[in-house]
Amino acid sequence: GLHVDLSIAGCSDSDGEMMYSLDGEELWFADFINHRGVEPQPSFIDHISYVEGTYEGAVANQQVCKQNLKTIREAMKDIPLEN
């Protein structure tokens, strides 16, 4: 059958998010406060693990996201709210 695979990545000046899910169930997320990846899967399923380095990749993506956010803010600062 068909499955729904979803990943969410986002950031702000002070926070960030990286998460992977399958069929509406969260499989992995980055815990940036405790500096680790978390796999919150129930014990009754076959455990799905992500490759080593997934958390480090999420940290690197956060740096790119924050730099992109800064660039977009600078590019849009002089654009009027209404035409």
pLDDT in tens, 19-64: 999 999 899 999 999 999 999 988 898 888 999 999 999 999 999 9
Residue 83 pLDDT > 80: no
Classify residue 33: in a domain, yes or no. Answer: yes
**Tokens standing for residue 2:** 């068909």
> Phi, psi (5° rounding) for residue 47?
-65, 135
Domain count, the chain: 1
Sign of CA dihedral 76, 79, 81, 83: negative
Q: Note the pLDDT of residue 28.
A: 96
CATH of residue 10's domain is 3.10.320.10
Q: Note the pLDDT of residue 58.
A: 98
Q: Note the pLDDT of residue 37.
A: 97
Q: State which residues form the domain around 22.
A: 5-76
